[in-house]
């Protein structure tokens, strides 16, 4: 949510609903408020993503929890996905792609 791009935000909100996130959790994520998850792996992913996106640093305790719960390969995958979605969001913002865009016809 760091880049506030309409189309990715709307797409991720829909996906969050599809996978069973509560509206309260979705709203908190979009608004940049703290959110909590019952699954420890989901919680640590959320915390690492928020630390990297907002503070740009991961505290030692969070680093250790993430390494234990996810392993370094999954952490690296997550960081790469965050970079990819940053690029997507910046591109969508540049071209002002609206939330209800249907995409390119093929």
Structure confidence at residue 24 (pLDDT): 95
Give 37-43's long-range contacts (Cβ < 8 A, gap of 24+): 40/69, 41/69, 41/70
Domain assignment of residue 24, yes or no:
yes
Domain assignment of residue 105, yes or no:
no
Domain assignment of residue 51, yes or no:
yes
How many separate domains does the chain show?
A: 1
Measured between alpha carbons, how far is 89 from 6 in angstroms, rounded to an integer? 8
Distances (CA, A) of 94 to 7, 27, 54, 72, 88: 12, 25, 21, 33, 10
Domain assignment of residue 19, yes or no:
yes
pTM for the complete prediction?
0.80
Distances (CA, A) of 33 to 22, 57, 64, 69, 88: 14, 18, 23, 23, 23
Domain assignment of residue 106, yes or no:
no
Domain assignment of residue 37, yes or no:
yes
Domain assignment of residue 103, yes or no:
no
Tell me the per-residue pLDDT of 28-63, one tens digit each, with 9 for 90 and over: 988 889 999 999 999 999 999 999 988 889 999 999
Domain assignment of residue 1, yes or no:
no
- The residue segments making up the domain with residue 45 are 6-94
What number of residues does the chain have?
A: 106
């Amino acid at each position: 949510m760091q880049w506030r791009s309409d189309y990715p935000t709307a797409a991720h909100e829909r996906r969050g609903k599809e996978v069973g996130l509560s509206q309260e959790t979705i709203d908190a994520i979009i608004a940049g408020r703290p959110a909590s998850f019952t699954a420890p792996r989901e919680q640590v992913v959320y915390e690492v993503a928020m630390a990297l996106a907002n503070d740009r640093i991961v505290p030692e305790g969070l680093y250790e929890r993430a390494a234990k719960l996810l392993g370094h390969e999954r952490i690296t995958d997550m960081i790469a996905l965050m970079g990819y979605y940053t690029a997507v969001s910046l591109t969508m913002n540049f071209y002002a792609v609206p939330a209800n865009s249907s995409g390119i016809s093929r």
